[in-house]
Structure 1
Amino acid sequence: MAAPSFRFTHFDLKAQRAGTIIEVTLSAVNNVRLMSAVNYQRFTEKLDFKFIGGVAKKSPIRLVIPEGGHWHLVVDGEGHHGLADSAVRMVSAPSAGTAPPARKQA
């Protein structure tokens, strides 16, 4: 499987419920892209894909999971000076249970 030509950090958020709020902390301006599993696969295959987010000029930023399912978050430096250090945490979930922290993958 081909990968994009720019560096990025991938967070597999696993299964999430609609309405879950995630908070992304960055050390510099970067792109933040929240994607469904299908769109993440398209991203890794260099195909057109859809995402929520965009250029994050301040940190932290919060994004809301729009629908239940398996989600991925990508932080990348495409069009910027480099790849920022980044971290993701679940701020709130729509149910009483809180999702486990996301794992960083290369």
Structure 2
Amino acid sequence: MDHLYFNLGSVAGGACFEVELRGSAARVCLMDDDEYQAYLDGDAYEYYGGFYDFSPVELEVPYDGYWYLVIDSNGRRVKVRVAQIFDD
């Protein structure tokens, strides 16, 4: 299964991430550890996010846990930048 992923590690609920897509629209999926494993295994899974044809995308982590950010551009070339957003 071709996809880009970012291991965000252990993240507190409420943390926000900004995803910048360049070159293609893509499905951007924020998944906890269990859902990412289901995704890799080809099982049913749930995620936060969706298909985006604009950038940047902001996603908020819904609860404390270990998180992954998956970018699926359906085989199209895409450049991705991910940054955590901090409130001042």
Q: Identify if the C-alpha distance between structure 1 residues 49 and 83 changes in structure 2 by more than 3 Å, giving closer, same or farther.
A: farther
Match 2:70 to one of 64, 74, 81:
74
Structure 1 unaligned runs (5+)?
97-106
Q: Which runs of 4+ in 1 moved over 4 A?
A: none
Q: How many residues align?
A: 87
Q: Deviations over 1:51-97 (max 9, x none)?
A: 0011111111100000000000000113xx6141111110027xx9x
Task: Could you tell me which runs of 5 or more consecutive residues in structure 2 were left unpaired when the two chains were aligned.
Answer: none
More strand by share: 2
Q: TM-score, normalised by structure 1?
A: 0.77
Cα root mean square deviation, aligned: 1.6
Which residue of 12, 20, 24 maps to 2:19?
A: 24
> Which structure is larger by alpha-carbon Rg, 1 or 2?
1
Paired-residue identity, % = 26
Shift of 1:22: 0.3
Scaled by the length of structure 2, the TM-score of the pair is 0.92
Higher RCO structure, 1 or 2 (CA under 8 Å, sep 6+):
2
